[in-house]
Amino acid sequence: MGEDAFDFDDLEIHESKSHIKSVRGFADQRRKLKPNRKNVASRNPVKVLQKRDDVIDDLEDGGSGTDEDDTNELVSSEKKLTNGSIKQILETNVVGRKGGINTGRIKAREVELAKDAKKGLESKEDIHGASKGLRVTEKDRKTGVGTEKTNPYDGVKEVMFFHIKGARHIQTRLIEPKTCNMNSGDVFVLVTPKYVHQWNGKNCSIMEKARGSEVSAVVQQWKELGCTANNVNVMDENREKPGAQLKAFWKILGDKKHIQKIEKVLDDKDFEKGILESNQFYEIECEDENNEDDECSLKLLPKFSGKVPSKKWLDSHKAYVLDFGTEVYSWIGRHTKGAPRKKAADIGLEHYNKGYACSTPIHPFNLNTKNENKSTHMERPEWSVYGRMAEKTENVAFRRKFYDWPDPVDLKVKTVEAKVHAQLTKEFTEPTTPNLMTIRARDLIQPTPEPLMILDGSFIGRGKGMRDEETLFRFGVTLNSLTVWQVAANSFEELPPERYGVFYSGEAYIIKWNFEIFRTGIRNLKGGKSKQEDSGKDRIFFFFWQGQDCSSSDKGTAALMTVEMDTEEGPQIPVQQGKEPPAFFQLFDGKMVIHAGKLSDDPSYKKNRMYWVRNEVDVETCLVEVKLSSASLRSRGCFVIINGEEKKLYLWQGIKASSSTIERSEQAAKNLQKNISKLGSKSFEMIHVSEGEEDNALWDTLGDEEDYMSYIEVAKTFDFTPRCFAFDSLHGYFRFTEITSTAYSPEHICPFPVLQNDLYELSQPGLVFIDLKYKMFLWQGWWPASDDETIDSKGPNTHAEKHRFDVNRKLAMESVMNYAEECGRNLSRIYLVFAGCEPLEFTNICPHWQQREEITNIQKEAGYQPGEKRKLQTVLEQLSKDEYTLEELKQKPLPEGVDPTRIEYYLNKEDFKKLFGVGKEEFPKLPRWKQIDLKKKTGLF
């Protein structure tokens, strides 16, 4: 700064006019250089404080006095102050943002903090000595594996090797990371801090591969088990991709030549049965749960031990210890209190350190071998783990021990099953069919949902309203008016009210439903009627009903006229015969009748007729005309039989009909009797007939006596609703759809939930599973005939189509077997039947059945015989066969279950070597063109 520089900090302002002029001149000069400022610039408080010599820093004090002395000294100095010196003290000693005087208490605290800070700065720490107590981990650069154990409660090791094996309940078990513990029939997942590897044996099942993909995906996505891998290294046996991850995998496990062959390891079912016996379930108990220092003990729970664990067993108010041999976990519920919560981790660790009493048929630490000495007490190996699991924070190794643990969801809200399917279908470069998975038994066992109508924001329910589970409002429905038109010859005719509910299978009808929907049950805080309860809203729905024998022109006319008549723009609902919702039936208050044919055929009841009593709810009862024959009778149903000449109305009731079905049949018969009288006919006499008490007059009315499946001599009860599921893979994955009555009610027994059209209208060849409790059937459809003469109509057009269907059949059979095992059914009473050739015991599952001769002829040409049924176990064994002779593989068509693109792999090793000149293991390593050339020369292409 030059000599002429001017500093405002050194300026002393007096009332002298000369000084004022000089300052004013300087300001004018600055005003020319810079714009005018409204506020005076603030001084630098730090610089001002540094220049003052009247401020004493506490750190400069020698510190010989006590805090009390400092306080007394401050108080005494305050007493000596005079009024004239207070201002001076404030101007010289006060330093701070608020400008207040520090009291003795604050001063004492500041002195104490200053002394502690000074001592901390002067102290010397032995950093070298402290570092000796820290954990030092040296990780291999290639494998990412360290050498030091971390938290003893975290349930994580630097290397964790999981064996995934099983048939019904896939097991995920920790094993020693060595190749001698691997085999070609299972899946293995290796987890390290840097990588996660999945190795699939060439003979592993789809379920095992799916479970392996799920475990590895969760570890990689959620960074569980101490792994920070960016992807999953998936390897198939003999098809491994070279790279750094592959080298790291084999470096940890050892030489692959020690991998066991599938013949030398335990079967999946034997393994699963034996390994489950090693599960031990303990509860942590204490006398006083509110006392954290109370003594705790472990109580073995026999009813939970030796079984597949269920998440339902874990009580949030308790703590448990779960022993799986190589894995021990203490689990603490969210609401656990006192000593069990405090001591659970230590009690579990103590149990883990005691070792394992080896009493299981399978060695708990070497899962490929049987346990010869079951009385031996064994120490747990170093690679075993112990973990403390708090509720909602369990890792994947713990969760996969439970068969009903909810499936995890990744950050993109996509189920792991979906990601597994995407992974499996992407892995193979040369897929024959998508890798599909069987249906889980617990998914099929889920209860049948009730058919409730929710349409256009209206909660209709079964026709009288329902409760909205989201808003908890109860909605009611009141009928305002009903109008019915019959469609005929490009026109429509409005029907009189007395003909409402009378339909013909060869006609089409339009029904206008005008109703009021309102909220009910709304109460105020005092319990009275709430003002929010609305008076209702008028709605109009249009149904156009189509009979099963209705012509296409009448169906189209009904649809077009519905659109023209709908001036209120309400919903237009097509309804097919047999698919009517409960709300449709309730429009006619249990008086609905469906006649066969057209109205013009026979408008009266002069000829003999037979009606099946449908539905179990009183206001939904419906009579459906069926073929007049004794073959139409069903022991679980009720039928109304009319003799027009003798004016008799027979009410026939099956021996196994439910009480609700009998009650509905009584009311339906009376309603029909009244309707006949309204038509001007002479009143018909009603005659009750129970199955087995028929007279000759009834048999004469039914015509020629034909066989039906009677249950008169069957002592079993039939108090159940059959279940029916259709299987397909049309969307790229194997799925099921339940088939049930559109008027199903969970409060009643529905004896006939399946109609013949439900089976024959599926995309063919279909697969339908029907559970009759005492018997089970898997119905197989037919290959539709083609209009093209160049295409063989006896079966699939290509080998690929046949193989895809064989894969679906096998998956359906495995799903049925799993379902039967889960429900405890007799596996020998599960049969495979074929469309067009169904035996009598199958056709009687449906309330009426019409033989389709064209389909029967197609099936006969395919080699099936009428009435044929095969045991499902035998057919499944044939489809699961994986080894054939060369002569069998050269036959046309190929044996069932053989993949036409991989025929060579069904040869045994000796025949393969003799035929191709190379071993089975070396063949996939040959160039693609070389493989095709060899297959052409041998005739296996």
* 3-state SS, one letter per residue, for 849-882: CCCCHHHHHHHHHCCCCCCCEEEHHHHHHHHCCC
State the Cα–Cα distance between residues 11 and 19, nearest whole angstrom.
10
pLDDT for residue 823 is more than 70: yes
Cis omega (within 30 of 0) for bond into 45: no
Cis omega (within 30 of 0) for bond into 893: yes
Token code pair at residue 227: 């792994």
Provide the edge-to-edge strand list for the sheet that holds 776-780.
Answer: 735-738, 723-728, 767-771, 776-780, 830-834, 869-871
How do beta strands 572-576 and 377-378 pair? unpaired
DSSP type of residue 449: P
State the Cα–Cα distance between residues 333 and 341, nearest whole angstrom.
8
Q: Is the pLDDT higher at 839 or at 529?
A: 839
| pLDDT given for residue 241 in this prediction | 80
pLDDT class for 464, splitting at 50, 70, 90?
Answer: confident
Angle at 442 between CA 439 and CA 444, to 5 degrees: 60
pLDDT in tens, 228-244: 998 999 999 888 888 88
State the Cα–Cα distance between residues 909 and 886, nearest whole angstrom.
12
Coil, helix or strand at residue 184: coil
Q: Going from the N-terminus, what domains does the chain have, and what CATH number goes with each?
A: 160-269 (3.40.20.10), 279-420 (3.40.20.10), 458-702 (3.40.20.10), 723-786+794-880 (3.40.20.10), 886-938 (1.10.950.10)
pLDDT for residue 70 is more than 90: no
Q: At a CB cut-off of 8 Å and minimum separation 6, what does 899 contact?
A: 432, 803, 905
| pLDDT given for residue 899 in this prediction | 75
Token code pair at residue 757: 């059209």
Of 278, 246, 219, 276, nearest in space to 410 by CA: 219
pLDDT in tens, 84-110: 444 443 344 443 333 444 444 444 455
Q: At a CB cut-off of 8 Å and minimum separation 6, what does 379 contact?
A: 355, 356
pLDDT for residue 5 is more than 80: no
DSSP type of residue 335: T
* Range 699-707 contact pairs with CB under 8 angstroms and sequence separation of 24 or more: 699/630, 701/608, 701/628, 701/641, 701/643, 701/648, 701/650, 702/610, 702/628, 702/629, 702/630, 702/641, 703/628, 703/629, 703/630, 704/629, 704/630, 705/630, 706/629, 706/630, 706/631, 707/630, 707/631, 707/840
For residue 485, report the phi and psi dihedrals to the nearest 5 degrees. Answer: -120, 145
Percent of the chain with pLDDT over 90: 26
Q: For the residues of 659-724, what is the DSSP string, one character each?
A: HHHHHHHHHHHHHHHHHHHHTTPPPPEEEEEETT---HHHHHHH-S-------TT--S---S--EE
Q: Is the pLDDT higher at 76 or at 859?
A: 859
Q: For the residues of 480-534, what is the DSSP string, one character each?
A: EEEEEEEEETTEEEEPPGGGTTEEETT-EEEEEEEEEEEEE--B-TTSSB-TT--
How do beta strands 385-390 and 327-332 pair? parallel
Q: Is the pLDDT higher at 29 or at 99?
A: 29
State the Cα–Cα distance between residues 208 and 795, nearest whole angstrom.
33
pLDDT class for 227, splitting at 50, 70, 90?
Answer: very high
Angstrom CA distances, 617 to 463, 513, 586, 880, stand at 12, 21, 9, 46
| pLDDT given for residue 680 in this prediction | 57
- Radius of gyration (Cα) for the chain, nearest Å? 43
Q: Does residue 764 contact residue 782 with C-beta atoms inside 8 Å?
A: yes
Q: For the residues of 22-39, what is the DSSP string, one character each?
A: HHHHHHHHHHHHS---SS
pTM score over 0.85: no
User: Counting Cβ atoms within 10 Å, is residue 37 exposed (0-12), middle (13-18) or buried (19+)?
Assistant: exposed
Of 716, 733, 734, 717, nearest in space to 725 by CA: 734
pLDDT class for 17, splitting at 50, 70, 90?
Answer: very low
Which helix (H) or strand (E) covers residue 777, if one does?
strand 776-780
State the Cα–Cα distance between residues 507 and 551, nearest whole angstrom.
8
- Mean pLDDT score of the chain: 78
| pLDDT given for residue 386 in this prediction | 94
Angle at 505 between CA 499 and CA 506, to 5 degrees: 100
pLDDT for residue 494 is more than 70: yes
Where residue 732 falls (left for φ over 0; alpha for ψ -120 to 50; beta otherwise) is left
Residue 433 CA to chain centroid, in angstroms?
24
Q: Does residue 332 contact residue 391 with C-beta atoms inside 8 Å?
A: yes
- Count, residues in the chain: 941
Q: At a CB cut-off of 8 Å and minimum separation 6, what does 488 contact?
A: 507, 554
Q: Does residue 358 contact residue 378 with C-beta atoms inside 8 Å?
A: yes
Q: For the residues of 346-407, what is the DSSP string, one character each?
A: HHHHHHHHT-EE--SSB-SS-TTSB-S-TT-EEPPPTT-EEEEEETT---HHHHTT-TTPPP
| pLDDT given for residue 200 in this prediction | 93
Coil, helix or strand at residue 649: strand
Residue carrying the six token digits 């039914």: 702
Q: Give the number of other CB atoms < 10 A from CB of residue 200.
A: 22
Residue 298 CA to chain centroid, in angstroms?
35
* Residue type for position 384: S
Which helix (H) or strand (E) covers residue 244, if one does?
helix 244-253
State the Cα–Cα distance between residues 266 and 368, nearest whole angstrom.
6
State the Cα–Cα distance between residues 738 and 723, nearest whole angstrom.
8
State the Cα–Cα distance between residues 190 and 915, nearest whole angstrom.
38
Coil, helix or strand at residue 643: strand
pLDDT in tens, 155-182: 899 999 999 998 888 899 999 999 999 9
What stretches of 427-470 adopt beta strand conformation (E)?
453-455, 458-461, 465-467
pLDDT class for 684, splitting at 50, 70, 90?
Answer: confident
Angstrom CA distances, 790 to 359, 855, 856, stand at 66, 20, 22
pLDDT for residue 375 is more than 50: yes
| pLDDT given for residue 412 in this prediction | 37
Which helix (H) or strand (E) covers residue 541, if one does?
strand 537-546
* Residue type for position 136: V
